[in-house]
């Protein structure tokens, strides 16, 4: 053991001597009460203090960096929680509106959620998360918080596809609620239009359009939308009545399927008559 210490000391004797001399010098400086030495000690103390203050920035930097990371995580968690609360509030509002529809309806309604949308085609559809097992059948009307959404076009055990108003195959017998003017609501690929309204009939912008008693698919009195503009077409017998749908299909998330089916006797008769249009 002592042999190893001796060999180590011999190997680094210059450093050992330098260290011993430095320690001895510091001890003599500390024990010396000479005014010059006191001044040197004061300057050294101030210098060490300044150096220590500058070096203290390093641990503070790493400490602040860790604290900033914690604050960022807290901000992310709070933002996520606020987003969930906003989503719950909006969902609560939508469900209240839908509940109002359910309470006001005389038909049984099946609640469903939109799980798919096609809104950029000529034949636009939405997909619901309810199907045959929940009681959904083809040709059943579909409602949203703003009124008529469309009609069930096809159905499986767990899903249903809805032909919405924004579909060139969509037709619905409708009337203006104020003046009782009848027409056929359809989509021409750009606008929802109330067709077959002659120039002499009373239709104005702002009139509410609802399903009529003549419809074989939809119960009467369902809100479709509001007349947005009435265009007089030169040389034509009919006005072009543009209708703004009550449902915002871009934001649509929850719907009700109305358990209403047309009278089969009426359907059979209309299907045997080629001049009639199913709507």
Read off the pLDDT of residues 234-263 as tens digits, 9 standing for 90 and up: 888 999 999 999 999 999 999 999 998 877
Q: What is the pLDDT of residues 29-87, one digit of tens each?
A: 666 566 665 566 666 666 656 666 665 555 565 566 677 777 767 776 666 666 666 66
Q: What is the pTM of this model?
A: 0.62
Exposed/middle/buried for residue 195 (C-beta within 10 Å: 0-12, 13-18, 19+) = middle
| Distance in angstroms (rounded) separating the CA atoms of residues 132 and 135 | 5
Cα 76 to the chain's mean position, in Å? 18
Q: What is the pLDDT of residues 210-227, one digit of tens each?
A: 999 888 889 888 999 999
Q: What is the pLDDT of residues 108-167, one digit of tens each?
A: 889 999 999 999 889 999 999 999 999 999 999 999 888 899 999 999 999 999 999 999
Per-residue confidence at 178, pLDDT binned at 50, 70, 90? very high
- pLDDT cut 70: percent of the chain above it: 63
Domains of the chain, start order: 2-55 (no CATH), 109-272 (2.40.10.340)
Write down the mean pLDDT value for the chain: 80
């Amino acid at each position: 053991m002592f042999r190893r210490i001796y060999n180590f000391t011999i190997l680094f004797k210059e450093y050992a001597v330098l260290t011993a001399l430095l320690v001895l010098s510091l001890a003599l400086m500390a024990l010396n009460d000479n005014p010059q030495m006191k001044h040197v000690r004061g300057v050294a103390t101030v210098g060490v203090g300044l150096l220590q203050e500058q070096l203290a920035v390093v641990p503070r930097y790493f400490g602040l960096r860790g604290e900033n990371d914690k604050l960022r995580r807290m901000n992310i968690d709070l933002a996520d929680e606020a987003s969930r609360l906003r989503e719950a509030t909006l969902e609560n509002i939508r469900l209240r509106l839908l509940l109002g529809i359910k309470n006001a309806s005389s038909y049984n309604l099946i609640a469903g959620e939109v799980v798919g949308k096609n809104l950029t085609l000529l034949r636009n559809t939405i997909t619901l998360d309810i199907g045959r097992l929940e009681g959904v059948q083809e040709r059943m009307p579909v409602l949203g918080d703003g009124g008529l959404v469309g009609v069930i076009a096809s159905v499986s055990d767990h899903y249903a596809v809805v032909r919405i108003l924004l579909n060139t195959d969509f037709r619905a017998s409708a009337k203006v609620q104020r003046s009782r003017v009848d027409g056929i609501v359809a989509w021409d690929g750009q606008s929802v239009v109330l067709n077959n309204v002659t120039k002499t009939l009373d239709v104005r912008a702002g009139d509410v359009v609802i399903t009529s008693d003549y419809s074989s698919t939809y119960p009467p009195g369902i809100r479709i939308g509001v007349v947005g503009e009435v265009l007089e077409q030169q040389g034509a017998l009919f006005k072009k009545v543009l209708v703004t749908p009550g449902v915002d299909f871009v934001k649509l998330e929850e719907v009700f399927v109305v358990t209403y089916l047309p009278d089969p006797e009426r359907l059979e008769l209309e299907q045997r008559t080629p001049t009639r249009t199913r709507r």
